[in-house]
Structure 1
Amino acid sequence: MAGLFKKSFKKDVTVYGMNIVLKKLGALKTNITKSKDKIKEQIAEFLRDGETERACTQAKVLIRGDSRVQALDLLEVYCTLIVEQIGLIHSMKDLDPSLAEAVSTILWAAPRLMTEIPEISTVADQLSNKYGKGYRNKCQENTHRTVNQTVIQKLSVEAPPKFLVDEYLQKIATEFNIQWQENVVRRLSISDTYERHLFGQPPSLGDMPASPTEIPAGPQASPPPASGPAVNHPLPTPLLSSAPGAPQPGDLRPIQPMANVTKTERSSVDAAVSEYSRDDEYLYEIIE
């Protein structure tokens, strides 16, 4: 009996709704872009007055706006693709694999944009009529992993990371000729960080300003082994002190070849690096 009342997919309604969604996506992007200059002026004023916390709050608003614009750009591409391929969608019973990302991303984004673009719900309803309510629910949970990851990240409600906020503030300070620098942000590759903590090599700042905090000198290490020369360097303070059996800040330790590193040492360093890893590729370290 339920099958007799199943709602049918309407091609014309879908196309009409998509065209409205496209217009509103463009208008939403324009409004966000227009507000950027005003927000940047507010941030500059806060930085001049030394109100860093208020500047950070507005910087987060600016970052979210930029992220939303990037997500809306992608959604425009997907909506346009659906309109162009509406004939294929209408004629095929199952979802064509080439359209899976576009359809699933629109279904995922619909509840997150329905307040600003109510028509996207109508479009989502039509796609749900075509492919089933179950498929729609799976898309909103990204069960099939076909939703565009960039859209997911850019429409996230999580606060942006501190290093990104500081980067925005520094760029705005430079643009408005304001002398401001709260933190130095350094981006370190996993391999570089692993090497630093494994061999006790000091960080290389390159062109970045030097940290105001000097690494304290510690007791001298024992003479290097007869197998080859070794160089003593102060161990970096931040991470190794948390690893089991690791040297403490200020200790000196000879650099040794990779072949001489024990499994225990590798495990300790791996644990320290993993604990401070922010993502799969990079670590971010803020030097106060």
Structure 2
Amino acid sequence: VELKLAIHRLKLLQAKTASLNTKARREIATLLETGKIESAYIRVENIIREDFNIEALEIVELYCELLNARLGMIEQSRTVDPGIEDAVASIAYASTRVDVKELVMIRELLAAKYGAEYIKNAMDNVDGTVSPKLVHKLGVKAPARFLVEMYLKEISNAYNVGWRP
């Protein structure tokens, strides 16, 4: 049940974030049009982070769907099957970095099943079993300058603003 709720919540969060990003893109186009370039640079970094967050939510959603599909296997085994190890670890990792309470409940259920230490290691990615793509998407590093400029160029093209870096 928690997996299905988490999948639903993740989809809602993706849609909400995407909608807010669309509005923010329009605002950035206005900033570019009015010559407020530095403000546009700063604001587009937030859009990039939110786009990364949407991609991370999609990854976590897929892992939740995988665990839901293999629920029978999970219930029958006391150890983590290699086929779901990255899903279990990635969900535990994301549960502390994504604001979806159902992921916390799933993490607690997984800890009861596989042990608190296993889940704690996954939350900190001690064993490197968390999806590297997910780790990158949920990272806190500022986006590269070329990526910021690429986003600004795309926004200026989409809203017919004559801006070039």
TM normalised by structure 1 equals: 0.56
Is 1:52 aligned to 2:37, yes or no? Answer: yes
Give the Cα–Cα distance (whole angstroms) in 2 for the partners of residues 171 and 23 of structure 1: 30
1:179 CA drift (Å)? 2.0
Find runs of 4+ consecutive structure 1 residues off by over 2 angstroms: none
Greater RCO, 1 or 2 (C-alpha within 8 Å, sep 6+): 2
Give the Cα–Cα distance (whole angstroms) in 2 for the partners of residues 180 and 68 of structure 1: 27
Q: Alignment partner for residue 166 of structure 1, among 137, 149, 153?
A: 149
Q: Alignment partner for residue 88 of structure 2, among 103, 106, 109?
A: 103
TM normalised by structure 2 equals: 0.95
- What does residue 62 of structure 1 align with? 47
Is 1:149 aligned to 2:117, yes or no? Answer: no
1:58 CA drift (Å)? 1.6
Give the Cα–Cα distance (whole angstroms) in 1 for the partners of residues 3 and 130 of structure 2: 18
1:36 CA drift (Å)? 2.2
1:88 CA drift (Å)? 0.8
What is the DSSP-based 3-state SS (H/G/I as helix, E as strand, rest coil) of the residue aligned with 2:140? coil
- What does residue 163 of structure 2 align with? 180
Aligned length: 165
Is 1:76 aligned to 2:61, yes or no? Answer: yes
- What does residue 274 of structure 1 align with? none
- What does residue 11 of structure 2 align with? 26
RMSD (Å), alpha carbons: 1.1
More strand by share: 1
Q: Percent identity?
A: 30
More helix by share: 2
1:34 CA drift (Å)? 1.0
**Structure 1 unaligned residues grouped into runs of 5+:** 1-15, 183-288
In the TM superposition, what whole-angstrom CA distance separates every residue of 1:43-81 from its partner, at most 9, and x where no partner exists? Answer: 011111111111012211111121111111111111011
Q: Alignment partner for residue 86 of structure 1, among 71, 84, 87?
A: 71
**Structure 2 unaligned residues grouped into runs of 5+:** none
1:177 CA drift (Å)? 2.0
